[in-house]
Amino acid sequence: MAGRVTFIATLVVVFVFSCHAKPDPHAKPNHNPIQTGPPVFVKQIKNAKLYTAGKGDDVIKVLHLWGTPYEMGYAHGTILKDEATDLLNEVWGYLEKQVTDAINGTLPGFFQEWFLKDVADLGLDIALDLERAATKPFTPDYFDEEMKGISDASGVDVKKIERIHMLGELTKGSCSMYGAWGKAVPMPGSVMQLRALDWASDGPFQNHPQITVYHIDETNSNNGHTFANVGWTGWIGSIQGMSSKQMAISEIGVSYPDDTFVKESRFGYPFTYILRDILQFDNTLDDSINRIANARRTCNLILGVGDAKLNTFRGIQYSAGVANFFDDMNLRPNGDWHPKIENVVYWGMDWLDPDYSSVLGRQLQTYHGNITAVNTIRDIVSIVQTGDLLICVYDLSGNTMYVANAKKENAQGPKNAYDRPFIRLNMKVLFMESRPTL
C-alpha cells in the first residue's frame, strides 16, 4: 500500500510539473520606483468619497463607503455607475466565453467539473442559480443587501451580480502567499504578508482595480470595524484586504491537492464572504481560527491570516473536509522543494507545485532576517513571477499596504503586476477618512 501511495504522489507531482509553467530562471528584479504620493480626491456624494492612488497607467481607484450595507451598495453603484456597469457586464461576457472554452476542451481545469456539467445540461444562468441556491442558506443577508444597493443604483440586474459573485467557488486560480514574523523580519514585533493573485489577466479585471474602504459604524460592536477590500469595481467579496485591526488575508486556489483535503462541497458559506467577515468582524487571529474551524466550508483552498497585534501569521488548509492550521513548525506539504523556514509560512501557486514553491522558498531564505516590502517587491514576487493580475504586500505593523495591478488595456509597460510599479498606501490614514458632509 505504501508503494502505491508513493506512486500516486509521484504522478501528482509530475502532473503539476506538466500543467504549471515554471518560473523563468532569467527573471529580472522589479526596479520600478514605488509610488508614494497620497490619494487624490475625485468627487463625493452621500455615503461615498472617491479618490485615485498612483499615477499614469497604474492608477487605482480608492472608494470610501459609509452607511448600512444597502446604503454602501447604493453609494458604490451611484458614484461609479458607469464603471460598475461596464465591469459587471464585461465579467459576464468573459464568463460566458470561458465556460464555452472549458466545455469545448480548450480551457481545461479552469472550472469545477460539476459546474461544467450543470452548464452543459441546464445553461449558464441556471447553473449559477443552482450554486447560488446551494450557498444562500449559509450567507448572511448583509451581502444580499449590498448587492441590491449596487443593482438599484447602477441598473445592473441583481441576479447577474449575485451570479458573478459565485465565481470564486467555481474557478481554480493559482496564487502565492507568505507570512513572515519574528527572526524572519528586521523589525522586532513586525509582521509581513504577501498575497499574489495569478488569475485571468487577459479578462476585464485588470482594467477596473479598486480598493474599497468600508467605514463601519463601530458604536455598535456587532457591526464590526473598518476595513479595506482590494478587488474591482462592483465586487464585494474578499480575496485580499486589510483591516483596521492590523490584520490581513491571503488566499490560494488549489488545483492540485493531495488526499489530505478529504472532500469539497457545493453547500456552504462562500469563501470570499468568510474572508470578508474576517476583515470586518475579527479582532484577532484567534477569532479567525475559530471562524474558519466552525464554518460550513466548501472548496479546496489555502488561506492565510496575519495579525500584527499577536505578531504572527497562520496558513490554513481549507476544504469541506478539513481546516488545518499551520505555523513555521508544522508547515505542509513536506518535501525538499518546500523546506521549513523559521518564522515563515508560504506556498507558491498551489498546494503541490514544486517549481514555484521551491523558488519562493529560496528567495525567502535569501532574505531571511530582512524580509521587507521593498525586497518582496524587488526580488521575491518578480523572481518567482507570481501575481500576474493583482498583488498586495502588507506591512501589518506599519499599517501600510503596497498594491500592484496588471497592465490595463492600451497601457504601456510590462503585462504582469509583479513587473509593474507598486503603490504604497498609508492604511491608518485611509481608515480615518471623514464622512461626506453632504
Which string of DSSP letters, residue by residue, matches 106-123? SSTTSB-HHHHHHHHHH-
How many helices (H) and strands (E) the chain has is answered by 14, 16
CA distances to 97, 181, 249, 266 from 328, rounded to whole Å, are 41, 10, 17, 31
**pLDDT confidence of residue 13:** 35
Asked if residue 202 and residue 124 are part of one domain, the reply reads: no
Asked if residue 281 and residue 140 are part of one domain, the reply reads: no
**pLDDT confidence of residue 3:** 38
The number of angstroms, rounded, from the C-alpha of 155 to the middle of its chain's C-alpha atoms is 27
**pLDDT confidence of residue 105:** 60
DSSP 223: G
**pLDDT confidence of residue 190:** 95
Considering the domain boundaries, does residue 6 fall inside one? no
Compute the C-alpha angle 357/362/365, nearest 5°: 125
CB atoms closer than 10 angstroms to residue 44:
17
Asked if residue 307 and residue 363 are part of one domain, the reply reads: yes
CB atoms closer than 10 angstroms to residue 262:
12
Considering the domain boundaries, does residue 16 fall inside one? no
Considering the domain boundaries, does residue 438 fall inside one? no
Asked if residue 351 and residue 269 are part of one domain, the reply reads: yes
Considering the domain boundaries, does residue 1 fall inside one? no
Asked if residue 100 and residue 189 are part of one domain, the reply reads: no
Which residue segment(s) compose the domain that 319 sits in?
A: 174-208+246-431
- Which residues of the chain are modeled with pLDDT < 70? 1-20, 98-123, 171-172
Q: What are phi and psi of 437, to 5 degrees?
A: -95, 10
What grid cell was written down for 74? 447604493
Q: Which residue in 196, 201, 179, 174 sits closest to 355, CA to CA?
A: 174
Residues 6+ apart with CB under 8 A from 400: 373, 394, 424, 425, 426, 427
Q: Which residue in 293, 80, 307, 296 sits closest to 179, CA to CA?
A: 307
Residues 6+ apart with CB under 8 A from 80: 50, 61, 63, 210, 233, 234
Say how far apart CA 58 and CA 73 lie, in whole Å.
Answer: 25
Asked if residue 272 and residue 142 are part of one domain, the reply reads: no
Considering the domain boundaries, does residue 229 fall inside one? no
Q: Domain ends where: 118, 142, 168?
A: 168
The number of angstroms, rounded, from the C-alpha of 238 to the middle of its chain's C-alpha atoms is 6
Asked if residue 402 and residue 268 are part of one domain, the reply reads: yes
Considering the domain boundaries, does residue 107 fall inside one? yes
Longest dimension (CA), the chain: 70
Considering the domain boundaries, does residue 223 fall inside one? no
Asked if residue 180 and residue 162 are part of one domain, the reply reads: no
Asked if residue 196 and residue 134 are part of one domain, the reply reads: no
Number of domains in the chain: 2
pTM of the model: 0.92
Q: Are 64 and 213 in contact (CB under 8 A)?
A: yes
Residue written as grid cell 464555452: 100
Say how far apart CA 198 and CA 266 lie, in whole Å.
Answer: 23
Segment (H or E) for 180: strand 174-181
Full 3-state SS string of 401-421: EEEEECCCCCCCCCCCHHHCC
**Residue type present at position 356:** Y
CA distances to 85, 260, 286, 320 from 332, rounded to whole Å, are 42, 10, 20, 18
What helix, strand, coil percent values describe the chain, rounded to 5? 40, 25, 40
Q: Which CATH number does the domain housing residue 272 bear?
A: 3.60.60.10
Considering the domain boundaries, does residue 9 fall inside one? no
Say how far apart CA 150 and CA 235 lie, in whole Å.
Answer: 10
Asked if residue 327 and residue 188 are part of one domain, the reply reads: yes
Q: Domain ends where: 145, 168, 191?
A: 168
Q: Domain ends where: 108, 136, 168?
A: 168
Asked if residue 406 and residue 338 are part of one domain, the reply reads: yes
Asked if residue 293 and residue 199 are part of one domain, the reply reads: yes
Residue written as grid cell 487605482: 60
